[in-house]
Amino acid sequence: MPNSHDFRLKNYFLQKSCIFQKKAVPLQSFLAKYMTTSHMERRVRVRFAPSPTGALHIGGVRTALYNYLFARQHGGDMLLRIEDTDSTRFVPGAEEYILEALDWLGIGIDEGLRIKKSEIINHKSEIINHKSEIESIGSHGPYRQSERREIYHTYVKQLLDSGHAYIAFDTPEELEAKRAEIPNFQYDARTRLQMRNSLTMSAEEVRELLANGEKYVVRFKVEPNEDVHVHDLIRGEVVINSNILDDKVLYKSADDLPTYHLANIVDDHLMEISHVIRGEEWLPSAPLHVLLYRAFGWQDTMPEFAHLPLLLKPDGNGKLSKRDGDRLGFPVFPLEFHNQKDGTVSSGYRESGYLPEAVINFLALLGWHGSGDQEMYTMDELIKDFSLDRVSKSGAKFDYEKGKWFNHQYLQLRSNEELAEMFLPVLEEQLKIKNEKLKIDMQTVAKIVGLVKDRVNFVPELWEQVNFFFVAPTEYDDKSLKKRWKEDSPRHMQELLAVLDTVSEEDWSKCEQITNDQSQITNLWHLDKVVMPWIAEKEYGVGIVMNAFRICLVGAARGPHIWAITDILGKAETLRRVRTAIERINS
């Protein structure tokens, strides 16, 4: 049964009245509300307009970032609009995922949809939890295309009234037959008069089809053999002849929604978008969009275009895909994504241990270069230095190893206390697996993290570096034993126990810092003053004794400075571990 909206479209032909007559918003009211100024006077307004069809690809994140940097640099506005006109591809939870990802990365939204955070306070005025919800902010909404149907109806009517669009009734079977009949078939000026549409049918035939509830689409009428000029801020002047353009579908009666092309143009105009910064894959659509702006009479306020280069596979040719990440072991999504449609889980940068500032810095330099040789950028520095004229025309290889490097650099900039807080969930989970509990305070955890943070790229990697501080070794690495545990090691360790036992608790962790002639600071531990003279007196090799000692404490030939380890473990635990190792290794 045809819906009420179909009925209104039928009235256009049956009564020669307006399409969507009862539902359409008057054009004059739209013009009054959304009147724009010239390009010279316009405020910079950009938009990021993803579709909620799954996880946000890292290439999309870069597009959002470049829009954000451009807007901030020019004191303009960053809008977030959800383009959900393709209802068949909608994935539940995708919209929330997109907004959460941008929020995590610090890409702020001035208008449109964004995450609103609030705190849950208990009766003692203490913050006991945080909650997030989606809010819509701004005067150009709604910001979901599925909620803008009435707006689009008005502009479908305008194109039909002006003769820039027509209605087509061709079925999928008819279109398939025509493709089989005509090689490289395209629905355009050369073929449209062979098809079932309002250009080839009488008003009576159209009335009958509409009255019977026939499904239809509205197509844009592209005039043949016209050079369409697109000025691109990155690529310069792009000229495409209209003969290669087909009559794109702008509206589908099946779901009462416009296609991307119509909705995109109408929304950008009404939301007063000054610059459209988007991926290179949309460049072939730009001539059609220019023609649509002209058809609506909006050419004077048409936004400027900038089409960004693709992110390419790390190896080989082609666009970066999820499959590349799975194959080479890196994420291609900002956050872990749980697909509610098929139950699949895809890894994310956040859950893999990346810091948001590292991801931002890494992405910014994929396809853009700064004004100098600087590699490390804060967000404020990026905003200051960003320029579209330094965006490359060619695609950027996705160097995921460089992403690790950036994360390592930013980890070093975090305080030990911050990293300890980030490491705490990993630590607690690992201790739970081993049926252990955290027995030290966070100040000590921070001290431990500070000893090894220069050895890791990601916070979760800290566990492998520091696990022996929290769980005493019960097994000893075979490779280390074969190389470092000598025949005399048990006797050396027994003697070392006696030497260490003479050190008081007060002196155990004493350490003084000495600055040499090159202003380099070194630590001189009290235990060094006790143990090294004993080794020299006995004429033992320092490496032979200390390597065996390390195996006793750590379980392997690894870890930070030996006295930093004994400082954290304390005297009693250090001696206990040495005794245990002597007993277990020799048994």
Cα–Cα distances in Å, from 16 out to 9, 11, 203, 206, 216? Answer: 10, 7, 10, 12, 18
Helices (H), 74-148: 94-105
If you write DSSP's letter for every residue of 150-214 in order, what string do you get? HHHHHHHHHHHHHTSEEEE---HHHHHHHHHHSTT---STTTGGGSSBTTTS-HHHHHHHHHTT-
Q: What's the CA dihedral at 134, 137, 139, 143 to 10 degrees?
A: -30
Cα–Cα distances in Å, from 100 out to 70, 107, 326, 368, 446? Answer: 21, 10, 23, 25, 29
3-state helix, strand, coil split of the chain in percent (to 5) is 50, 15, 35
**Cβ-based neighbour number of residue 116 at 10 Å:** 14
Cis status of the peptide bond prior to 533, with omega within 30 of 0: no
Distance (Å, whole) CA 37 – CA 493: 83
**Cβ-based neighbour number of residue 437 at 10 Å:** 9
Question: Which 8-state DSSP code applies to residue 319?
Answer: B
Residue 411, both tokens = 């980890």
Residue 400, both tokens = 């995921």
Q: How far is CA 28 from the centre of its chain?
A: 40
Nearest partner of 58 among 374, 408, 317, 346, judged by Cα: 346
Nearest partner of 575 among 461, 476, 495, judged by Cα: 495
What does the buried/exposed string (b/e) look like for 214-230 if buried means 16 or more CB atoms within 10 Å of the residue's CB? bebbbbbbbeeeeebeb
If you write DSSP's letter for every residue of 223-275 in order, what string do you get? PSS-EEEEEETTTEEEEEEGGG----EEEETTTTEE-HHHHHHHHHHHTT--E
8 Å CB contact between 547 and 557: yes
Distance (Å, whole) CA 103 – CA 356: 10
Strand runs labelled E in 392-520: 396-397, 511-515
* Residue 123, helix vs strand vs coil: coil
Residues with a known catalytic role: 322
8 Å CB contact between 243 and 225: yes
Cα–Cα distances in Å, from 394 out to 310, 313, 317, 390, 391? Answer: 7, 13, 12, 12, 9
